Amino acid sequence: MLARRSVLGLFKGVDEAADALDAVRAGGFEQHEYEILTGTPYPEGAFGEEEPKHSLYRYPLIGAACGFIIGLILTAGTQLAFPLVTGGKPILSIPPMSIIMYEGTMLGAIIFTVIGIIIESRLPRLFMGAYDTRITEGYIGLTVTTDAERVGKAEEILTGAGAEDIKRGWEQTDFD
């Protein structure tokens, strides 16, 4: 398998970055090879990028189901195992059980949602690849991650598109 390298082009404005993205696409790079990096969310499609897809909605459903089942087992199981009648209420009393099962359902949904967000965001990411700290200051980054032999071509395209700066792979350690 060929080594993957990434290169980042830094742009000041949205239009320049969008034009650069067009050039990268025209250069034969595929969707999974390029990414726009910004320090703040922009309206979807502002760079002409494809709509990001995610399947986050599965996670809360699975989490809720797990939480519900655990809540049911906890409440019903523990009371049946230790049947102590209190206040004249039945051992399996639906109102209190439903309260704890509800909390379990919601907790499961929330925890799984958070796990889903982290996974779908492809985090944690140990090696960030090409990155520049000016992105969080308003600059827009366009990274291309591709085989080592094609990264030169990507760099040429980005330079040609008017990138303010080009960074490769691990060169993100300078700070102002």
Partner 1 sequence: MQEYTYATDKELNQSLLKDVLGMPKWWLGAVSFLALVWLMGLGAYGWELNQGIGVLGVNRPVYWGFLITNFVFWIGISHAGIMVSAILRLTQAEWRRPVTRAAEVLTLFSLLAALSNIMFHVGRPWRLYWVAPYDFERGVWPNIRSPFVWDPSAVGTYLIGSSLFVFIALIPDLAALRDRSTGLPRKFYAMASLGFRGTQSQWKLQAVAGILLSALVLPVFVSVHSIVSWDFAVSIGVEGWHSTIFAPYFIIGAIHSGVSAVAMVMALMVWLWKWDKYITPDHFDAIGRLLIIVATTWFFFFALEWIFALYTLEGPELSLREWQVFRLPMGPLFLTFMITAYFIPVPAWLFKAVRRSPKWMFWTTILVNIGMWLERFLIIVPGLQRRQPFEFEWGSYAPSIVEILLVASTFAFVGMGILIFAKIFPLIPLFDMKEGTRLRDTIRVGRRVVPASIRE
Partner 2 sequence: MANEAIHYPLGHAADNPKWTSAEIITDDLLSRREKASKTFWIATSVFGVLLALGVIGMIMRLVDGVSDTAQWGYTAAVLSFMLTTASAAPMVAIAPRVAKGHWRRIVSRPAEIWSVAGLISLLLFIPMLWALPSLEDGRRSMWFYHPGEVYPYSPHLWTTLAIVALVVVGFMLLWVSALPDLAAVRDRSPLGSAVRRRYTWLSRGWIGTSAQWDWQKHRIGILGAFYFLMLITVHFLFSIDFLMTLVPGWIDALYPATHAANALQAGVATVILTMFFLRRFCGYKEIGHDQFWGLGKLMFALSLMWFWFWFSSFNVFWYGKKPNEEAVLELFIKGPYLPIFYLTFITVFIVPMFTMIWNFFRRSVWGPAIISVSVLIGTFFDRVRIYVGAYSVSDQAGNHEGIETIPPTVYPDLADVFIVVGAIGGAIFVYMLATRVFPIINVWEQKELLLYKLHKKYHRTVVLVLGKPE
Q: Kindly report the backbone phi and psi dihedral angles of residue 9, in degrees, each rounded to the nearest multiple of 5, phi listed first.
A: -110, 135
14 near partner 2 (CB under 8 A): yes
Window of 22-30, 76-84, 151-159, 162-170 that interacts with partner 1 by CB under 8 A: 76-84
Window of 22-30, 55-63, 149-157, 159-167 that interacts with partner 1 by CB under 8 A: 55-63
Window 108-167: residues binding partner 1 (CB under 8 A)? 109-111, 113-114, 117-118, 120-128, 131, 133, 135-138, 141
* One of 89, 149, 160, 170 touching partner 1 (CB under 8 A): 89
Give the Cα-Cα-Cα angle 132, 52, 147 (nearest 5 degrees).
55
Residue 56, H or E segment: none
Q: In whole angstroms, what is the distance from residue 144 CA to residue 50 CA?
A: 15
Q: In whole angstroms, what is the distance from residue 32 CA to residue 145 CA?
A: 8
52 near partner 2 (CB under 8 A): no
Residues that bind partner 2 (CB under 8 A): 14-15, 18, 43-48, 57, 87-89, 95
